[in-house]
Chains A and B, each alone.
Chain A
Amino acid sequence: MTIEATKVIGKAVPILEARDKVTGRAEYVDDMKAELFVKILGSPHAHARIKSIDISRVGKSPQ
């Protein structure tokens, strides 16, 4: 197959998100309104089945 016959290889393909970036619409992390915090909680039990997760204390932390 020649290069001319391919859809992308050897072609200048428009950048999909270019319009968003050039208009200032693209959202970067610092542009997001809310800031969330994540904590990864590991299970104290190896090879166990999760029946439920108690998130009541987490729900009380400041939004």
Chain B
Amino acid sequence: MAVVATKRMINLKVNGKEHTLEVGANETLVEVLRERLRLTGTKIGCNRGECGACTVLIDGEPVLSCLTLAIECEGKEILTIEGLEDPETGELDPIQEAFIENFGIQCGFCTPGMVMTAKALLNRNPDPSEEEIKEAIQGNLCRCTGYTQIVESILAASEKMRRC
């Protein structure tokens, strides 16, 4: 009878820090981030790829960490909301500042996912139109329906980032 490996040691690079962990073959990235690494800034909203609250960046691309297996992430660079702040100075990413200044936050549950999606957008398109922003965040649901301020926040962030 074939022996099926149900657990495997993997190296995960999260926010620039290396972690060696034994993960189950069916463990999702968001479970490992939240439960093993206690990085609870990444949220589980629906746990089935509908709400975008679990969005993190893998090698710069936005992915739904609830639909990504942790073992797929071996050797990849993962960036979560906790990694946006400067660890030494506590300085926020311009996107985070813009969300605060433009009231892009209500209950805050969608915020980490929104910010990470915005991060990926502005990395590849530093000067997006309002339409392009809406297209980028179409996979991130905000149940407070604060979309207007979220779009304004991302527009403000893009201006901020182009200025400096």
Contacts and interface: CB of A to CB of B under 8 A. Distances in A.
B108 A23 contact: no
From B44, B80, B108, name the one whose CB has the most chain A CB atoms within 10 angstroms.
Answer: B108
Contacts, number: 50
Given A23-B85, A24-B80, A26-B108, A18 B43 contact: no
A22 B85 CA distance: 10
Interface string A16-57: 011111111111101101000000000000000000000000
Given A15-B100, A15-B105, A17-B108, A22 B115 contact: yes
A22 B44 contact: no
B42 to A, nearest CB: 7
Contacts of B103: 12, 15
B148 to A, nearest CB: 14
A10 interface: no
Given A30-B44, A31-B40, A23 B96 contact: yes
B32 interface: no
A59 interface: no
Interface residues of B, dominant DSSP: loop
From A19, A22, A27, A28, name the one whose CB has the most chain B CB atoms within 10 angstroms.
Answer: A22
Q: How many B residues touch the partner, as a band? A: 20 to 34
Contacts of A19: 92, 100
Given A14-B100, A18-B99, A23 B40 contact: no
14 contacts: A15-B100, A15-B105, A19-B92, A19-B100, A21-B111, A22-B92, A22-B96, A22-B111, A28-B40, A28-B43, A30-B43, A31-B34, A31-B40, A33-B38
Given A24-B81, A28-B43, 14 more contacts: A17-B108, A18-B105, A20-B108, A21-B105, A22-B92, A22-B105, A23-B41, A23-B92, A23-B96, A24-B40, A24-B42, A28-B40, A28-B109, A30-B40
Interface of B: 34, 38-44, 80-82, 84-85, 92, 96, 99-100, 103, 105, 108-109, 111-112, 115
